[in-house]
Structure formats: structure tokens, C-alpha cells
Amino acid sequence: MSASATSSAPDAATRSASTTTVDGRITAPALVDARWLVEHRSGVTVIDTRSAAAFATGHLPGARSLPLDALLVDDSSRPAISRLAAATRAVLASRGIAPDDHVVLIDDCDGSAALGAAICELAGMRRVTVVQGSGIDSWRAIGETLTADTTEFTPVPPADWAETTDRTTTIAAFEDLVDAVVEGRARVIDTRSQLEHEGIIGAPCCAGRGAIAGSVHVEWTQLFDMFGAPRSTEYVRELLDQVGISTDDPVVVTCHAGHRAAIAARVLRSVGMRDVRVSLGSWHEWSLRGLGEDVDEG
């Protein structure tokens, strides 16, 4: 299922349980903690985005497995993104998930839940939530248990998804990223580490090291406190102001392969940014296309 895949505590808690919008419509909480999930468990469907092996070892009772831990996108062009959305709808239907269901995604703090949330929203889902912090570990930390039992689900008829269309307001296609860099249609935020942004270190799957031309650096960890809760709205807005970004600016959020960008994007939306899109290909695809830090504007 891939597009050519090879603060203050009270403020953070309030925002974690507050609603966000997709296409101007009220949806569901963007980020929640494990206790919220315990309290609302009966009304949501849990999607576990860890590896199949990790899921088999232990997962939340009734959870659906959707492994995204190793997803790498080397083609996030508009046609590829459309294919990804269609494939996602088919996979969700096979897991017994309907487009109007409220899904809550959980991982092991690798960002795959947030990436999965962005992809579910791309596929047309409007009620999508991510468990913040350490995910599965935070579930166990409050005394909840996991199970290795398998559960059979009744697939949702394809007709239930027939009228659901792609929602591209949360995902930036590669063309959108290029437009942001070349034509200045959006600001580009790099959420990787400082060493990655400066090209000192990099992932072996990439064709080079460095940063996308014109991008500003806001490491994703700066958006969370030591307990894994989102920083206060005031803190995040001040952080953005330091790199010359206002909450009114349209932004494309990048990292290595979309995971860190996706979790950062959910925080940015929660502090009032209206036009925030995640680049699924991010630096991985940018480097493979041979662009490096320079883009030919001709």
C-alpha cells in the first residue's frame, strides 16, 4: 500500500483532546493520550501501524494491523498519490473499516501512526486521531494489557467507499513541494535533526545528504515536552516566529520519509495553522530525483 514504496501541561492536554478540521469540517481529536483512548475505546477503531511481527507479539484487543513502520515513498507525484489513496481505501475496507468510522492510530513512537493518519485522511477519512507520546508503551504504562490473539473482521463492501474521493489538503504531492521551493507558494519546514539538516549525517537509502533549498529547520522533538505531550500553543508559535513563519503561512512539512513530518504537522494544525501539508517523499525522494539543495528554476 504505497506510492511506489521501496508548554504547559494543561494547555497541551486541552489541545490533545480538541478537534481539528479537514476541508473546513469538524473532525476528531488530532492527538490524544493513552487515557483518552481507554475512556473512548468502545467508540473507535484502533489501527496499529507497527510491523507485522510487533503486532503479532502483542497489540490492543480488536486492533487492526496496518504496517507502515518501514514505508518509503520514492514517487509522490500526483498520479502516485492518487493510486496510494485508492489502495488505502481498499486496504481499510478489507480491515472492516468504513469511511465514516473514527479511527485511532497507534505505534511505538516511530511516527508511523501519524503518517498513517495522513494517508487515511488522503483516502477520505475525516475522523482520524493519533495516540501521542510512546504509543504502545504509554498504553502499558497506565496498566492496560496487550493480546496476541487474532481477530477476524468482516470486510466493508467496496460500495461503502465508492463515493469517497481523495482529500489532498493534508498531503503535498512532489509537484507541490517543487512549487513551494521554486515559486514560493509555501514555506518548507524540515523536521529532521540539526545534523541531518546540515548534511552531516544522512540515511543510506538516500542519494545524498543535505536539505531542501530554502527550507527552515524546526526539529520535530521541539514540538513536544519530555512526557511526549504537545508544547503549548504560545511555545509553538514563538518557535515558528523564530524561523520566520506565521500561522497564516501555507507550509509543506518534510523530514526523511514523512514519519516525523506527519507528527509535526498534527501539532502545527492544532495551534491554528490552516494550510499544513505533509510531503510523503520528503528528503528521501528529493535526493533520489537528484535535486539536492538546488532546483533548476528554468
Tell me the pLDDT tens digit for each residue of 211-233: 999 999 999 999 999 888 999 99
Read off the pLDDT of residues 74-108 as tens digits, 9 standing for 90 and up. Answer: 999 999 999 999 999 999 999 999 999 999 999 99
User: Is 259 contained in some domain?
Assistant: yes
Residues 212 and 128 in one domain: no
56-78 per-position pLDDT tens digit: 999 999 999 999 988 999 999 99
Does residue 154 sit in the same domain as residue 256?
Answer: no
Q: Are residues 231 and 283 in the same domain?
A: yes
Which CATH number does the domain housing residue 58 bear? 3.40.250.10
Residues 96 and 190 in one domain: no
58 CB-contact burial (10 Å; exposed 0-12 / middle 13-18 / buried 19+): middle
User: Does one domain contain both 70 and 209?
Assistant: no
Residue that finishes a domain, picked among 161, 184, 218: 161
Instruction: Provide the grid cell at 64.
Output: 487492526
What percent of the chain is predicted at pLDDT more than 90?
Answer: 83
* Final residue belonging to a domain, choices 112, 132, 161: 161
Task: Assess if residue 1 is contained within a domain.
Answer: no
Inside any domain, residue 298:
no
State the Cα torsion 250-255-260-266 to the nearest 10°.
Answer: 0
Residue 29 · residue 18 · CB < 8 Å:
yes
89 and 194 in a common domain: no
Strand-pair partners of 105: 47, 130
- Provide the number of structural domains found in the chain: 2
Is 193 found in the same domain as 112? no
- In the three-class reduction of DSSP (H, G, I as helix; E, B as strand; rest coil), residue 20 is classed as strand
Find out whether 295 and 211 touch, Cβ atoms under 8 Å.
no
Mean of pLDDT values over 229-244: 97
Domain match, 91 and 228 both: no
Q: Which domain holds residue 55?
A: 9-161
What is the predicted pLDDT for the residue at 57?
Answer: 97
Residues sharing a CB contact under 8 Å with residue 233, sequence separation 6 or more, in sequence order: 11, 15, 270, 271, 272
